[in-house]
Amino acid sequence: MRRWIISVIAAIILLVAVGGGVYYYNQQSQFVTTDNAQVKVDMVPITAQAIGKLKEWPVHLGDKVEKDGVLGTEEIRATSIPGQLPEVTDIPQIKDIISPISGVVLQTNVLPGQIVTPGTPIAMVADLSQAYVIAYIDENEIDDISLNKDVDIMLDAYPDQTFKGKVSEIGKTAGNALAGSGLITNKQDKKEVQRVPVKITFDDFDGEQIKVGLNATVKIHK
């Protein structure tokens, strides 16, 4: 009886090992997988029209804004406006601060009364419906990836949900050329494995639940 139990246990262990090996092989043969990936979005700076004093700024993080919508106002002197005559320098003017896109405010750290300049962003706005994932792929797997390939995207923040996407760009630079980007593995091999950034866009995605910077795992179909 004891020998029979041992045989059954051994058979179960063997089946589990074989099943695991088959699953691993199938995953390797069908997908390029990495968990070195993050959600990104292109941010658009909001700037003043000219050097002046911020007059009204009722903007907070997370606020939704519309394209060409007024976010606030600044008080400027005519001398700071290109083309204005110097004799009217004592007359302050109120200028609107406009958002060039529809989106969500992701950064802002100014208050009314502060001096603002055209070259310094007052806020950063992004269209979260255009969020994407940047995944770093080992150089020895990059040949298995091509544009428009389907991608399964799993976000650590939503472990029970899988998003669909496609490969939209494959980076032209790998390894040390992009310092600080996570392009180099932590392997202590004699020859470090370099990584190539791959951009993945979401399919049919509204961006409402996405937070920029979320960690992701991607499975790119070969």
DSSP 50: S
The string of pLDDT tens digits covering residues 79-104 is 555 555 454 456 789 999 999 999 99
**Residue that has been written with the tokens 């003043």 in this structure:** 48
The string of pLDDT tens digits covering residues 35-54 is 999 999 999 999 998 999 99
Give the predicted TM-score (pTM) of the model: 0.73
Supply the CATH classification number for the domain 32-40+129-221: 2.40.30.170
Q: DSSP H helical segments within the chain, as ranges?
A: 2-30
Structure tokens at 219: 């499975």
pLDDT at 66 over 70: yes
pLDDT at 142 over 70: yes
DSSP 144: G
43-128, CATH topology level: OB fold (Dihydrolipoamide Acetyltransferase, E2P) (2.40.50)
Where residue 180 falls (left for φ over 0; alpha for ψ -120 to 50; beta otherwise) is left
Whether the CA torsion 26, 32, 34, 40 is positive or negative: it is negative
Where residue 18 falls (left for φ over 0; alpha for ψ -120 to 50; beta otherwise) is alpha
